[in-house]
């Protein structure tokens, strides 16, 4: 053996192959095999389990900028997909340092074992901040993430596969993640030494359209006093109204809002015309904008993190929010009767709207704080206030 060979780097057991031909080597973690998706980055320092199980990440591979991912293990309480036996949102995970032994009393499983159980392919030992800078310069690219403990990869074949992957633009992913049947939800938020509660005396009834809803969003609706009926993404306005709700919620979700809007926008437009209070989040916000006459666009790098400052024009306050989206609403496309209520202080993109003459509003960010700050929890109270005002008007 030559002297320099003794100091050669170990054979990589995982690769990230980008659509432009860039190859990034590292150590494989999680599931074996390969997965494809759009590579984005998330700047949150905590909440990796909530992030990876957020259905809004369907079709994406997540680069974590914070170096220590997996160090507190995983547990069933922090899963955000409603179907806990189903697939997670993200297709792959890219992390900086090796996964350490869990050091948190809430941990029920090692992160690596959890990744395997969730069929998430992982890559560690990567300079994730350099990859983040690359994405900021080049935009979010499609890629293949592959894990083989023997390090046997056909790199040319992986490059060709990555180059031919379809873009998220024009792709409807919500239908595949939405519930297949209507169900009721009454679980409330988690409390110290008590766990999750149950809403047994609801004062309101809300129908939630499921485009890939997160568990904690439903919990906060129940915590606010709602009996929640969750319906599939393709449910008609007539069926939703047959439940006689006090309000309608439009959930978060993945993919291109214009593609999902092919079937959802006419429904949303009819729900707005019904006069009921309507509250939308994330994909629900984008499709509400489409229903009101606005347009959406694909973003260069998207917003993914738990530290995004947003200005609420209705209160003139700045709140720190959790974001996860790759499309945005074109504020200039909104009609005159629709007011922009929130804006990102990072890049000035639209983060909220309301209809001036109807109890209808939405936000781009995730106010349920899973993970992230709780600055935007007031939005659920705002929805309830609209419901109460609408019920009072109807009673006159």
177-201, pLDDT tens digit by residue? 999 999 999 999 999 889 999 999 9
For 204, the enclosing helix (H) or strand (E) is: strand 204-209
Q: Hey, where are the domains in the chain? A: 3-163, 174-395
Percentage of residues in the chain having pLDDT higher than 70: 96
pLDDT confidence bin for 3, thresholds 50/70/90: very low
| 183 to 127, 178, 221, 231, 243: CA distances (angstroms) | 44, 12, 15, 7, 12
Percentage of residues in the chain having pLDDT higher than 90: 94
pLDDT confidence bin for 82, thresholds 50/70/90: confident
Tell me if residue 323 falls in helix, strand or coil.
strand
Catalytic-residue membership of 282: yes
Mean pLDDT of the chain: 95
pLDDT value at position 87? 59
Distance CA 351, CA 329 (A): 8
pLDDT value at position 84? 57
Taking every pair of C-alpha atoms in the chain, what is the biggest distance, in angstroms?
Answer: 90
Q: Is the pLDDT of residue 144 over 80?
A: yes
Instruction: State the pTM of this model.
Output: 0.96
Q: Is the pLDDT of residue 1 over 50?
A: no
pLDDT value at position 172? 97
pLDDT value at position 9? 59
pLDDT value at position 165? 98
Q: Is the pLDDT of residue 386 over 80?
A: yes
H helices of the chain, in order, are 48-52, 111-117, 128-138, 155-163, 174-177, 215-223, 237-242, 257-273, 283-291, 378-395
Q: Is the pLDDT of residue 7 over 80?
A: no
Query: Is 395 or 148 the better-scoring residue by pLDDT?
Result: 148
pLDDT value at position 275? 98
Catalytic-residue membership of 351: no
Q: Is the pLDDT of residue 49 over 70?
A: yes
pLDDT value at position 86? 52
Are 3-163 and 174-395 the same fold in CATH? no
Tell me if residue 235 falls in helix, strand or coil.
coil
Ranking 285-289, 320-324, 390-394 by mean pLDDT, the lowest is 390-394
Question: Does domain 174-395 bear CATH number 3.40.50.880?
Answer: yes
Mean pLDDT on 256-279:
98
Q: Is the pLDDT of residue 312 over 90?
A: yes
Tokens matching residue 367: 């106010």
Q: Which of 40, 118, 282, 351 is catalytic?
A: 282
CATH architecture type of domain 3-163: 3-Layer(bba) Sandwich (3.50)
pLDDT value at position 85? 57
pLDDT value at position 391? 95
Catalytic-residue membership of 85: no
Label the pairing between strands 33-42 and 142-147: antiparallel
**What are the tens digits of pLDDT across the range 329-358?**
999 999 999 999 999 999 999 999 999 999
Give the CA angle between residues 333, 334, 339 to the nearest 5°: 145
pLDDT value at position 396? 78
pLDDT value at position 89? 86
């Amino acid at each position: 053996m030559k002297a320099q060979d003794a100091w050669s780097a170990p054979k990589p057991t995982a690769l990230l192959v980008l659509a432009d031909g860039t190859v990034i080597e590292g150590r494989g973690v999680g599931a074996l095999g390969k997965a494809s998706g759009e590579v984005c980055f998330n700047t949150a320092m905590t909440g990796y389990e909530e992030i990876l199980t957020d259905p809004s990440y369907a079709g994406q591979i997540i680069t974590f900028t914070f170096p220590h991912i997996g160090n507190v293990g995983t547990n069933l309480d922090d899963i955000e997909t409603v179907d806990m036996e189903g697939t997670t949102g993200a297709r792959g995970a890219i992390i900086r340092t090796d996964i350490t032994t869990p050091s948190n009393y809430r941990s029920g499983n090692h992160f690596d074992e959890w990744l395997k159980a969730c069929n998430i392919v992982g890559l560690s030992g990567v300079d994730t901040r350099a990859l983040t800078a690359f994405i900021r310069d080049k935009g979010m690219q499609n890629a293949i993430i592959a894990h083989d403990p023997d390090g046997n990869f056909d790199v040319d074949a992986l490059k060709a596969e990555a180059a031919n992957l379809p873009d998220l633009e024009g792709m409807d992913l919500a239908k595949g993640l939405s519930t297949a049947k209507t169900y009721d939800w009454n679980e409330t938020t988690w409390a110290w030494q008590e766990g999750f509660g149950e809403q047994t005396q609801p004062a309101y009834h809300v129908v939630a359209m499921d485009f890939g809803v997160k568990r904690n969003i439903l919990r906060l609706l129940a915590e606010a006093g709602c009996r929640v009926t969750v319906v599939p993404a393709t449910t008609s306005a007539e069926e939703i109204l047959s439940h006689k709700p006090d309000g309608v919620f439009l959930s978060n979700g993945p993919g291109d809002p214009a593609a999902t809007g092919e079937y959802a926008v006419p429904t949303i437009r009819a729900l707005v015309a019904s006069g009921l209070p309507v509250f939308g989040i994330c994909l629900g916000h984008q499709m509400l904008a489409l229903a009101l006459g606005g347009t959406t666009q694909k973003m260069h790098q998207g917003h993914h993190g738990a530290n995004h400052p947003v200005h609420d024009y209705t209160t003139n306050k700045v709140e720190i929010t959790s974001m996860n989206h790759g499309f945005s609403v074109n504020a200039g496309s909104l009609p005159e009767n629709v007011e922009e209520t929130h804006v990102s202080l990072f890049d000035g993109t639209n983060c909220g709207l309301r209809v001036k003459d109807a109890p209808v509003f939405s936000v781009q960010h995730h106010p349920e704080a899973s993970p992230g700050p709780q600055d935007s929890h007031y939005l659920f109270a705002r929805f309830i206030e609209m419901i109460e005002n609408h019920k009072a008007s109807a009673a006159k």
